[in-house]
Amino acid sequence: MKDLINKLYRNHSLIYKGLLFICTTFLIVYLFPKSGKFKYNFEKGKPWQSESLQAPFDFAIKKTAKEIDSEKKDIVDHAVLYFDLDNAIQKKINEAYKEQFKVVFSDTLPTRISNKLFDAGETIISELYRYGVLNENYDFGEDRSVVILAGREKKYDGFYVNLIQQNDVTSVIEDVLSKNNLSSFKTNYVSLFFDLIEPNITFNKSFTDKAIQDELGRISFTRGSVAKETLIVSKGEVVEGDKYQKLKSLQSEYESQFWNEANYNWVLFAYTLLVALALLMLLLFLRKYRLEVFENNTKVTFIFFNILLMIFITTLVVNYDSAYIYIVPICILPLVFKAFFDARLGLFAHVLTVLLLGFIVPNSYEYMFLQIIAGIVTILTVSELYKRANLFISVGQITLIYIIAYFAFFVIHEGSVETLKWETFIWFILCGLATLFVQPLIYAYEKLFGLVSDVSLLELSDTNSKLLKEMSNKAPGTFHHSLNVANLAEASANEIGANAMLVRVGALYHDIGKMKNPTYYTENQSTGINPHDELSSKESVKIIIDHVIDGIEIARKNNLPDRVIDFIRTHHGTSVVYYFYMQEKKGFPDVKVDKLDFSYPGPKPFSKETAILMMCDSIEAASKSLKEPTSTKIEAFVENIINKQIEEGQFLNANITFKEIQSIKKVLKYKLANIYHLRIEYPE
């Protein structure tokens, strides 16, 4: 059990990467479409790119959403309306009318006129309740069929216009009186029936809605069918109208027949294999070409997180409306990776991400071509991201490439520019503007993942920063030495294509540990008094060596990034403090002096940048001892110091070649020759 725990502990980094790999794979597969992918790519209004397609089996043609919506609207607009009838109302009104008639009309009227008036009133009631009086005014459109229900019995089945609305009562009274030549009594009748008439028809909404739902449920979602081996579309034909609907129906039929629940797991398994293969390629790339990144779990997590984030955002947009797919700023991915790592890793990760997105987006070939080209342009054009103008120029170039490539694809598909959708260019412009969001995103990533970009390095290179100003006050000689080393290191890095900004910042901060005991270092001894004269060689060498440890402590207190702290740790490697080593040997000739007691603890430089700093630091510090320098002396001086470092194996862990070291030597010789150039002696 103990051996197992020890083995797990030793391999915890690989175990973490394995878990990260599995989790990312499943999350990406979860975002993928939950069915297989139709083997034909087609888009409405564009030519059919594949060979002529015949129906592989019989299938029904599905109606479009627009057709179904139109049918639903027609059913709702012309649905039968159901009303409830109260039979007791008319009888009640007739009885009330007999009582109210005597009140309204005078008893002094002749019997003949009185009878005629009474009969007219009964006719009015009969006309009003012939079909029924509604309880309120309804606006259901024209010529609507209605059904009057008295309990479960259907009493009337006709048109809606026959029912009496509330505002139609007066017109019915007027019609009856006019026919009987009694219009002069209109006011009396209106007054009589104003409070007398009651509605006997009430709209039955629940019954009507149920009937409508029954009708809607009987809608057929298909229209006609396509027989097996019937030609659906020929190569080069424009996919539109009935052809488009047939293709959509075939695609849907494939999904229902071949990608059903029975083989859903197989489809899922296939997706998982492809996603895992892509992510595995990324891990293998990191292990072979970016071992430093591979061994850092935070950086690997950062890379996987960004790939997953881009797939997630793209999936959201596709699910909402695939027309907006080109708004997603995929080029942020290579920009971010280039800012924190390098161009090669950025492009590799970008291509793999676009390949995975091909499973999600429509018209995947066109999409992948556009995005890969845009990613290549991003990598080639964006340099020195910390310069704002560079980012704007690069975004403009990326947007232009999008527009040109899309235009070319459109012409290939359509054969003309007459139907070109100019609004698509707006999506590309918006995508370019969204890409500018990379600057705040980089800042957020620095805080979340503890990474450092060129933008942060630019801020750290400011000599007016708090820490560098403190060093210039406490150890002015060391500060001046650091500036000289920074200039030499930056020139050397530019010569071999290393990260010049990183090595410059590392050079500025590499000796901050000397602030703790500044007077123990020659460059800060302005009084001519050397404190080492009163110390033993071992005591002196401990103070000298401790400036590395002190520097790391000061850097951590001031929140300097780990990439900068690496320069403090490695700028002396495991070299020997030769002066005090020889002093000890001279002072104790009979005692064997252990070199390890006079050596820096390391580690040795493990990158091009840290190796450059070690060379430049040694050259700049030792160059102060040159007397009457000449070009020959400078060349021999540079050769001796760097060759000695090579012999000691200081650069074995750094990925730097002999050719690059030779280039650095040339730069250092040239720079020193300029620093120590001879001047003519001016007369006093």
- The predicted-structure confidence for 64-78, as pLDDT tens digits, reads as follows 778 888 888 888 888
For 287-326, the pLDDT digits (tens) are 998 888 898 899 999 999 999 999 999 999 988 888 788 8
For 540-564, the pLDDT digits (tens) are 889 899 999 999 999 999 989 888 9
> Which of 453, 433, 212, 217 has its CA nearest to residue 327?
433
- Residue 609: is its pLDDT beyond 90? yes
- Residue 471: is its pLDDT beyond 90? yes
Tell me the pTM: 0.63
Q: Which residues sit opposite 62 in a β-bridge?
A: 222
The more confident residue out of 532 and 167 is 532
Q: What topology does CATH give the domain 454-525+533-675?
A: Hypothetical protein af1432 (1.10.3210)
**Average pLDDT of the residues in 164-188:** 77
For residue 4, CA distances in Å to 14, 297, 510 come to 15, 22, 41
The HSE-up count of residue 469 (CA atoms within 13 Å, CB side) is 4
For 115-173, the pLDDT digits (tens) are 787 888 788 888 778 777 887 777 666 667 778 877 655 655 566 566 777 667 778 77
Give the pLDDT score at 108: 63
pLDDT band at 93 (very low <50, low <70, confident <90, very high): confident
Query: Tokens at residue 398, please?
Result: 């990326």
- Residue 60: is its pLDDT beyond 60? yes
**Average pLDDT of the residues in 22-32:** 91
For 574-605, the pLDDT digits (tens) are 998 877 878 877 877 777 777 788 889 889 99
Give the pLDDT score at 680: 46
Helix (H) or strand (E) holding 145: strand 145-150
Domain borders along the chain are 2-36+262-427, 74-216, 454-525+533-675
Say how far residue 74 (Cα) sits from the centre of its chain: 43
Give the pLDDT score at 326: 87
Give the pLDDT score at 323: 78
Q: What share of the chain is helix, strand, coil (3-state, %, to 5)?
A: 65, 5, 25
Give the pLDDT score at 454: 76
Give the pLDDT score at 161: 60
The more confident residue out of 86 and 418 is 86
**Average pLDDT of the residues in 198-206:** 83
Give the pLDDT score at 487: 94
Three-class DSSP category at 157: strand
- Residue 683: is its pLDDT beyond 70? no
User: What is the average pLDDT value for the chain, to the nearest integer?
Assistant: 83
Helix (H) or strand (E) holding 233: strand 231-233
Give the pLDDT score at 677: 63
- Residue 233: is its pLDDT beyond 70? yes
Q: Phi/psi zone of residue 344: left (φ > 0), alpha (ψ -120 to 50 degrees), beta?
A: alpha
- Highest mean pLDDT out of 26-40, 235-249, 277-291, 521-535: 277-291
For 257-282, the pLDDT digits (tens) are 655 555 677 778 888 999 999 999 99
pLDDT band at 386 (very low <50, low <70, confident <90, very high): low
For 635-676, the pLDDT digits (tens) are 899 999 999 999 999 999 998 999 999 999 999 999 988 887
Helix (H) or strand (E) holding 180: none
CA-based diameter of the chain, in Å?
161
**Average pLDDT of the residues in 334-344:** 88
- Residue 36: is its pLDDT beyond 80? no
Give the pLDDT score at 107: 65
